Structure 1
Amino acid sequence: MSWSIEFLPFVPWPVLWIVAGIGVALLALLFWRARRGAVLRLLAFAMLMLALANPHLKQEDREPLNDIVTVVIDDSQSQTIAGRTKRTEEVRKGLEERLKTVPDLDVRFVRSTSTVADSDRDGTMLFSDLGQALADVPPDRLAGVIMITDGEVHDVPGSASALGFDAPVHALLTGKEGEFDRRLEVTAAPRFGIVGSNQSIEVKVTETKPGETDIATLTITHQGQASKTKTVRVGETVEIPVEIDHAGPNIVEIETDTAPGELTTINNRALLTVEGVRENLRVLLVSGEPMAGERTWRNMLKSDAAVDLVHFTILRPPEKQDGTPINQLSLIAFPTRELFQEKLDQFDLIIFDRYQRRGVLPLLYLENVARYVERGGAVLVSSGDDYASALSLYRTPLGQILPAVPSGRVIEKPFKPALTVLGGKHPVTSELPGARGGANGDEPTWGRWFRVVDVSPQDGEVLMKGADDKPLLVIGERGKGRVALLLSDHAWLWARGYDGGGPYSDLLRRLAHWLMKEPELEEETLKATSKGQTLIIERRSIEDEVEPVTVTTPSGEEETVTLDKGERGIWRKTMTVDEQGVYRVSSGELASIVTVGKANTRELAAVTATDGPLGPILEETGGGAFWLGREAGEASDLPRLAMIRSGHVMHGGDWLGLHKRDAYHVKGVRLFPLFTGFLALALLLGLLAATWFREGH
């Protein structure tokens, strides 16, 4: 229960103050002239003002309210290193036990994580989470805020006025003073690079304080290549050349050696992806005997803006003698030596369309083509009955790289091209529209062909089959290059729409891109993507089983994941992750990286414990920082708690203070008038009469 005086004026306060001002001025004039009765006039005026102010005696029935202290627990990624997770939990338990012993005190715990759910959130956001937790807490009940953190906080307000409350903020630091750490910083990295070119990545090794040596060793690993080492000076920016040797993601891993006494090695490594982009693809198309479908390949390749096509058609073989003058046979001479000896390696793909040995290309040039494939080139042979003849390309040096041996027989009967079981899983053919499960024996919806060459596969993979289940499309790898063999010259029927047509453009384009090693058509791939806190792993394979996938988190922890089998050679796995940064997934020789949230997160940029960022706000609110980073964060290491009603400095060497707010809730109010009724009227009239009497004598 509480008693107090409260005024309930009969007129508004501004009017009351105006009347008071006028009265005071008149009374001052009376006293200055020494008029009789001035004192009585003063008392009468005071009684009048008191009557207008209407004072009451107020009785309140109060219910005391507990003070509130908020404990913010830093669960960010930097708190997972150097035993801080265990130390934080021990400090939390010890602090909770001590706070329970303080009477009339409510404790609220707030956990703050460096979550990836919000793409705009980067780093440790303790004050953002604190503001949300205090949304329903009256400022006059908040006794203080205690933060259990390593001190690396990225949303510290500029001043205490931005907090929205007047209470001390204390920090219990889970690290040790003077911690040492080395980290690798990527200062510049390209996102794209032309295949065959060299790109430069700029990196720098930094340390939180000078170590015993200023030399560090970098290990550079380019996916699929042997590792290289480079010695650098700490603090000096160096360039790392990276060769873009294939289209698609080129994964580069750079790691610095561990320094003695280093806090952690999780920030000693950087994973980067440089997307390899081809310049315009150069394709050499050599057409042999003219036929109805000769322009099918040309039209398909010319329609692709990313292809530079060189096309030669041999209309008249050397053995043909019809008396036509030489100057009328061709506008230009066939530059065989220039194309097949001097500039052969400049082409990304060579296509022989119904070509057979007719003496135009010497065998030496075809041998050059075979070596071109072994060194990484690509050859596609689109054949008809020419492949079964005695003049077949298989009977040349090119035969050593071709994936099928002709029997000399040509099957001429209607059939619908169909996928083999392998073709139903291979990326070249599995996505062809109209296959309708052809790998399972169902008849495709596309049109018929009428000719296929009988062959026996030779170290190759059969993706499509024709009449009598004979191989129709055979592919293979030779050395560093690739070769494909299409054993029918009737693809043009699909292009003309015969019998409903078919996906000729899709088939020929996908086949050409596979030969040129476009990454989306590789049969063995591993890809990872992210969406919010979800990591999606996709593995493509033509095998019946695949190896488990190893997922490496930004903090260096590894987890083995078994993928779920899907359709058409696809295995997938979806998993929820907590950390923010670059994840690496690997399976055998395959690897991929994906960024979840921020790629260069501030969480792992600086991991040494510090009181620097929090220092100004602690000092302004009267709070203090306490280092608890011993080998075990025992409760005995915690500072004592003290409840203080006033004071700016709310901490000492071994204690921290909380405001004693004495907040309450009013349950009931009673008012008793103090200057109303006949007594007040009589007193006022008596003073006025006395004033009149005094001035009359």
Structure 2
Amino acid sequence: MNLDVAFSPLIPLWALLALAAAGAVVAALCVLGRTRGAWLRAGAIACLLLALANPSFTREDREPLTNILPVVVDRSGSQTLDQRKAQTDEVREQLEARLQGLKNTEVRWIEAGQDGTASDGTELFAALRNGLADVPPERVSGAIFVTDGVIHDVPPGARDLGFAAPVHGLITGRPDERDRRVALTLAPRFGIVGQTQTVGFKVEETGAGLGRPVPIVVRRDGEEIERIEALPGQSTTIDVPVSHPGVNYIELEAEDAGQEITTVNNRAVVPIDGVREKLRVLLVSGEPHAGERTWRNLLKADASVDLVHFTILRPPEKQDGTPINELSLIAFPTRELFSQKINEFDLIIFDRYARQGILPIVYFDNIARYVRDGGAVLVAGGPDYSEPGSLYETPLANVLPAEPMGGVVERPFKAELSAVGKKHPVTRGLPGSEQNPPAWAPWFRMVDSRLREGEAVMQGPDERPLLVLAREEKGRVALLLSDHAWLWARGFDGGGPHVDLLRRLSHWLMKEPDLEEEALRAKATGKTITLERQTLKDEAAPVTVTLPGGTVRDVQLTQAEPGLWRGTLETPELGLHRASDGTFSTLVNVGPPNPREFTEVASTDKRLASLATATGGSTRRVEPEPGAELAVPRIVPVSAGARAFGADWIGVREADASVVRGIGILPVFAGILGLLLLVGAFAATWAREGR
């Protein structure tokens, strides 16, 4: 029970203060003038002022509240290393037994990082705040942390805790642990395909017997590309080539130091997104025709394409007597394009081009060699492909996948996907292809030809090849055997998916990874890995996934759509995963490339020490010596301000928190008592002055 005095003035406070000042002046004059009954008069004035102040006695009936003691148990990834998990379990068991005898205390057990793979590191204090969200600060008697000391959200000071009570740390792990880790100092996010990027790193070591140069293996997409040595503690840089568009995974792996607590952090991963420079495309139109601008408009609309377009308006055989110096046409720079700078182009397109004496035969040899060395050629042919002067009558025929039969089919027909075309990423799922026949406008002309190699992904009447795709050594060739694709672009009879088709076709030729017909891909969403096998075959082999820790999982794939097989894997680990089906392999990273949780894993009491000292708490290892029994301290209640730790004990503050159950109020100058006090004071003054 608490007893207090409260005031509830009957008049405004300023008026009460004014009367008090006036009364003090009157009382002082009476006392200084030695007036008879001066002190009695002063007492009467004081009683009157007290009556106006309306004092009352307040009694509170309070019920004490229990103390709240949070115990935060670290279950993060680093706690799974060595014997830490067993130590943590044993410490918790002993603490449960010792805390049962702590009176007037409610123990809250808070498990932090139960999945063991926190992507942002070990955040024990965030878990502590969540666990105490409904608890007033004055009820918290302290906090005990069972952890390896690798904590990434330790508050900078005691004021940031949110309560005033001692913090204690019970540190798991061994004091003599060895660890070697690779820390990145320069990790670029993007790189130009075909160029190099600089990656910086530093080898850091903990433990005795280290300090010698460390062998480092550098890998790109799982394949070793270099071996170097690095001195511990010194920054090292290397230049790595960016070989392809999309993510290039650069791995830096340090040699095992021997007897390390873990080798997970011996490897660092740098994902570099490969970005192409402007794709250079050479478009050669053999003559003006209705569909000439279809290719030009499509390629010019693509911001990633740098287009060079030539149209043959005046072939050599066209002689009309106009003097050369009066022509505004420029000469076709054949030597520069097809001899000196041919390898600068990513794609060469011949649109209705026939041999007209413009290109010497030797240049067609150059083009065929350009394809075999990794270039790409697209021939969009019309009647010119089957007539005398066809490109098939040049050395380029050695890489062209279809042979003209000498005729042209001229009747309405609808282009259809072949069995292979329904699986190929260039044509699979084209809008309207799900219907039979496809909901596309008809074409009216195509070249009659015979498939020589490659795959016919689209076909015309009587299953004649219409669009043929082929690989020639390192390069690629596509042959479109109709010049009526422009009808789709003009919207004739509803049009067709010309943008999707022609864009996919050109990007397949330029080796866009997403359009590969045989590929294994993997992507991660959270901890779910989705595997995709693109293939033209009728089945897909199981995929073997190797987790960062070395565990191997097999994933069966099921057909999601023609040519595309999928499977999923729930992984318990963060880091770089390797997937392979025996033919293709790929990498996928789950979570951040280098999880903060495993950057530094050696147990330490330093991170928590300053905060524990500032709150009056302590940190201590539960295994003082290797192999010794765990030293779990006793829990002792202490008063506020008292020392909170000793050699074999730690203290928790006795919180002085309570809740009000009842209130009693007794006014002093109310009723008969107040009236008697006032009348008595003034009566005594009158009686003394009347003598």
Interval of TM-score (by shorter of Structure 1 and Structure 2): 0.7 to 0.9
Secondary structure in 2 matching 1:95:
helix
Q: Deviations over 1:74-122 (max 9, x none)?
A: 233333333434433332233223222333322112233399999xx94
Q: For the residues of structure 2 that align with 1:547 and 1:21, how far apart are their CA atoms?
A: 100
> Structure 2: which 5+ runs fail to align?
none
1:607 aligns with 2:604: no
Secondary structure in 1 matching 2:178:
coil
Secondary structure in 1 matching 2:141:
strand
TM-score scaled by length of structure 1: 0.83
Q: For the residues of structure 2 that align with 1:271 and 1:518, how far apart are their CA atoms?
A: 24
Whether the 8 Å CA contact 2:91–2:630 is kept in 1: the answer is no
Q: 1:631 and 1:342, CA in 2 relative to 1: closer, same or farther beyond 3 A?
A: farther
Structure 1 residue 417, shift from structure 2 partner? 0.6
Q: Deviations over 1:566-613 (max 9, x none)?
A: 23544456677777x6554533434244563x5555333322222223
Q: For the residues of structure 2 that align with 1:288 and 1:583, how far apart are their CA atoms?
A: 51
Letter in 2 for 1:130: L
Question: What does 1:312-461 align with in structure 2 at a 5 Å threshold?
Answer: 312-314=310-312, 320=317, 324=321, 327=324, 331-357=329-355, 359-388=357-386, 392-437=390-435, 442-461=436-455
1:507 aligns with 2:470: no
Whether the 8 Å CA contact 1:91–1:633 is kept in 2: the answer is no
Structure 1 residue 69, shift from structure 2 partner? 1.0
Question: What does 1:450-599 align with in structure 2 at a 5 Å threshold?
Answer: 450-525=444-519, 539-548=533-542, 559-563=553-557, 565-572=559-566, 582-584=575-577, 586-588=579-581, 589-594=584-589, 596=591
1:650 aligns with 2:644: yes
**Corresponding residue pairs, total:** 685
Q: For the residues of structure 1 that align with 2:288 and 2:233, how far apart are their CA atoms?
A: 67
Match for residue 200 of structure 1 among 192, 198, 218:
198
Q: Which residue of 1 is the match for residue 111 of structure 2? A: 111
Q: 1:525 and 1:97, CA in 2 relative to 1: closer, same or farther beyond 3 A?
A: farther
Structure 1 residue 519, shift from structure 2 partner? 2.6
Structure 1 residue 338, shift from structure 2 partner? 3.1
Q: 1:189 and 1:617, CA in 2 relative to 1: closer, same or farther beyond 3 A?
A: closer
1:267 aligns with 2:265: yes
Structure 1 residue 618, shift from structure 2 partner? 0.8
Structure 1 residue 477, shift from structure 2 partner? 1.6
Whether the 8 Å CA contact 1:91–1:634 is kept in 2: the answer is no
> Structure 1: which 5+ runs fail to align?
none
Structure 1 residue 218, shift from structure 2 partner? 1.7
Question: What does 1:77-226 align with in structure 2 at a 5 Å threshold?
Answer: 77-113=77-113, 122-208=120-206, 211-223=209-221, 226=224
Q: For the residues of structure 2 that align with 1:10 and 1:492, how far apart are their CA atoms?
A: 94
Q: Deviations over 1:325-344 (max 9, x none)?
A: 78389945444333322222
Whether the 8 Å CA contact 1:114–1:123 is kept in 2: the answer is no
Structure 1 residue 615, shift from structure 2 partner? 1.7
Whether the 8 Å CA contact 1:549–1:585 is kept in 2: the answer is no
Structure 1 residue 155, shift from structure 2 partner? 2.7
Greater mean alpha carbon deviation, residues 424-433 or residues 687-696: 687-696
Q: Which residue of 1 is the match for residue 68 of structure 2? A: 68
Q: Deviations over 1:469-508 (max 9, x none)?
A: 1111111222221111112232233334433332333322
Greater mean alpha carbon deviation, residues 661-670 or residues 23-32: 23-32
Q: Which residue of 2 is the match for residue 628 of structure 1? A: 622
Structure 1 residue 354, shift from structure 2 partner? 3.3
Q: Deviations over 1:421-466 (max 9, x none)?
A: 32223221124323234xxxx1111111233334443441221111
Q: Which residue of 1 is the match for residue 244 of structure 2? A: 246
Structure 1 residue 188, shift from structure 2 partner? 1.8
Letter in 2 for 1:611: D
Q: For the residues of structure 1 that align with 2:635 and 2:214, how far apart are their CA atoms?
A: 46
Q: For the residues of structure 1 that align with 2:106 and 2:248, how far apart are their CA atoms?
A: 55
Greater mean alpha carbon deviation, residues 479-488 or residues 157-166: 157-166
Q: Which residue of 2 is the match for residue 639 of structure 1? A: 633
Q: 1:46 and 1:614, CA in 2 relative to 1: closer, same or farther beyond 3 A?
A: farther
Whether the 8 Å CA contact 2:54–2:667 is kept in 1: the answer is no
Structure 1 residue 35, shift from structure 2 partner? 11
Letter in 2 for 1:100: Q
Secondary structure in 2 matching 1:98:
helix
Q: 1:554 and 1:94, CA in 2 relative to 1: closer, same or farther beyond 3 A?
A: farther
Letter in 2 for 1:186: L
Secondary structure in 2 matching 1:510:
helix
Whether the 8 Å CA contact 1:57–1:674 is kept in 2: the answer is no
Q: For the residues of structure 1 that align with 2:117 and 2:230, how far apart are their CA atoms?
A: 38
Greater mean alpha carbon deviation, residues 453-462 or residues 568-577: 568-577
Whether the 8 Å CA contact 2:623–2:631 is kept in 1: the answer is no
Structure 1 residue 17, shift from structure 2 partner? 10
Q: For the residues of structure 1 that align with 2:167 and 2:125, how far apart are their CA atoms?
A: 11
Q: Which residue of 2 is the match for residue 285 of structure 1? A: 283
Q: 1:93 and 1:29, CA in 2 relative to 1: closer, same or farther beyond 3 A?
A: farther
Letter in 2 for 1:465: Q
Q: 1:9 and 1:394, CA in 2 relative to 1: closer, same or farther beyond 3 A?
A: closer
Greater mean alpha carbon deviation, residues 479-488 or residues 34-43: 34-43
Q: Deviations over 1:260-279 (max 9, x none)?
A: 33332222222223222222
Q: For the residues of structure 2 that align with 1:24 and 1:177, how far apart are their CA atoms?
A: 74
Letter in 2 for 1:485: L
Q: 1:207 and 1:322, CA in 2 relative to 1: closer, same or farther beyond 3 A?
A: same
Secondary structure in 2 matching 1:202:
strand
Whether the 8 Å CA contact 1:413–1:467 is kept in 2: the answer is no
Whether the 8 Å CA contact 1:194–1:277 is kept in 2: the answer is yes
Q: 1:385 and 1:627, CA in 2 relative to 1: closer, same or farther beyond 3 A?
A: same
Whether the 8 Å CA contact 2:166–2:615 is kept in 1: the answer is yes
Q: For the residues of structure 2 that align with 1:454 and 1:273, how far apart are their CA atoms?
A: 48
Q: For the residues of structure 1 that align with 2:226 and 2:303, how far apart are their CA atoms?
A: 38
Whether the 8 Å CA contact 1:289–1:314 is kept in 2: the answer is yes
TM-score scaled by length of structure 2: 0.83
Q: 1:412 and 1:87, CA in 2 relative to 1: closer, same or farther beyond 3 A?
A: farther
Greater mean alpha carbon deviation, residues 677-686 or residues 643-652: 677-686
Q: 1:237 and 1:210, CA in 2 relative to 1: closer, same or farther beyond 3 A?
A: farther
Q: For the residues of structure 2 that align with 1:365 and 1:180, how far apart are their CA atoms?
A: 65
Question: What does 1:296-307 align with in structure 2 at a 5 Å threshold?
Answer: 296-307=294-305
Greater mean alpha carbon deviation, residues 397-406 or residues 607-616: 397-406
Secondary structure in 2 matching 1:637:
coil
Q: Deviations over 1:168-198 (max 9, x none)?
A: 1111212333533222122223322222222
Letter in 1 for 2:602: T
Letter in 2 for 1:591: T
Q: Deviations over 1:138-180 (max 9, x none)?
A: 3333222111222232332333233232221111212333533
* TM-align CA RMSD: 4.5
